[in-house]
Amino acid sequence: MRSSLSFTLIITVIFASGYFFYTALAICPIPITYRIGELDGRFNLTEDEARLSVTEAESVWEAATGKNLFTYDAKSDFTVNFVYDERQAFSEAEDTYRAKLDTAEQVTETISAEYTELVASYDELQVTYKSKVAAYESHLADYNETVERYNQAGGAPTDEYRKLQAEKRSLDVGQRELEVLRTNLNQLVDEINLISEQGNKIVARYNDGVATYNDTFGQSREFTQGTYSSEGRIDIYTFVDKTELRLVLAHELGHALGIDHVTGSTSLMYFLISDQPAELTLSETDLEVFASVCGEGSRWDTIEQKIRRLIIKITL
């Protein structure tokens, strides 16, 4: 009878450990198999591109943990779906608005460059004008002094008179050149004032646009771009670009592992799209929570699981 009881106890433990083992896998059922399910064509994403994005997202977890956590299986019941709704329309509206702002910014920069160039031309021409004015006034003062001296003497000799006439013609030419320069300066001033006025209007519209953009699109967003359902699906609703798509997918894959939101704005499992690095990786908090949920020695690593692993080692 003792042998029979012993045998019964072992069988009970084996079956019991099997029960808790699969219960634990229901919490952290790794590796999770998946396939691409619904893929709305309005995302302009091929199935191969969708698969690649999921692969990149799963690699964030697998590279950091050293575990095979996810596996593509065309027959899997677990699906990753791309469902187009108003959230993606909102995202596309954001892209369109941002493109308009970028264009306005380029126009503003172009006008600013033209303004700077016009001011530089004005400054350079003004220096030339002032120099020529000073030379002309000095020449005119010498001419007037000479004329006054000859007038007081009763008139200039014929040769001197001819020289004075030549100087008078030279002064007239100089005066016309100064007039041309003055006209050019005034034209530059008009152009500068015009472009300044246009630039101020464009800058004001641009600043208003930036304020509108920030009010409409600039807030940190919760992870409403995607959802995970325990029924066996991840639904992706919106993403700005491939980088954000990878972030949203990696976040939802974390939920598929049984991981809830964590603290720390740089964490992958933080509830906001916030300060996560462009080169996506798991934070220390992400890793700690992963270890508590899926690692050996986790809260799901029950006594029965440990017994099961021991039995497996013995049978091997």
pLDDT in tens, 151-165: 998 888 999 999 999
**Does any domain span residue 74?**
no
pLDDT the model gives residue 307: 46
208 alpha carbon, distance to own chain's centre? 20
N residues, the chain = 316
Domain total in the chain? 1
pLDDT at 304 over 60: no
Contacts 24+ apart (CB under 8 A), 116-124: 118/188, 118/191, 118/192, 118/195, 119/192, 121/188, 122/185, 122/188, 122/189, 122/192
**Does any domain span residue 14?**
yes
Q: Which residues pair with 228 in a beta bridge?
A: 234
**Does any domain span residue 280?**
no
**Does any domain span residue 261?**
no
**Does any domain span residue 115?**
no
**Does any domain span residue 110?**
no
- The mean per-residue pLDDT over the stretch 119-138 comes to 93
The pLDDT tens digits for 64-88 are 999 999 999 999 999 999 988 766 5
Q: Which residues pair with 305 in a beta bridge?
A: none
**Domain range enclosing 6:** 1-27+295-316
**Does any domain span residue 279?**
no
Continuous segment of H or E residues that includes residue 169: helix 158-217
pLDDT the model gives residue 273: 81
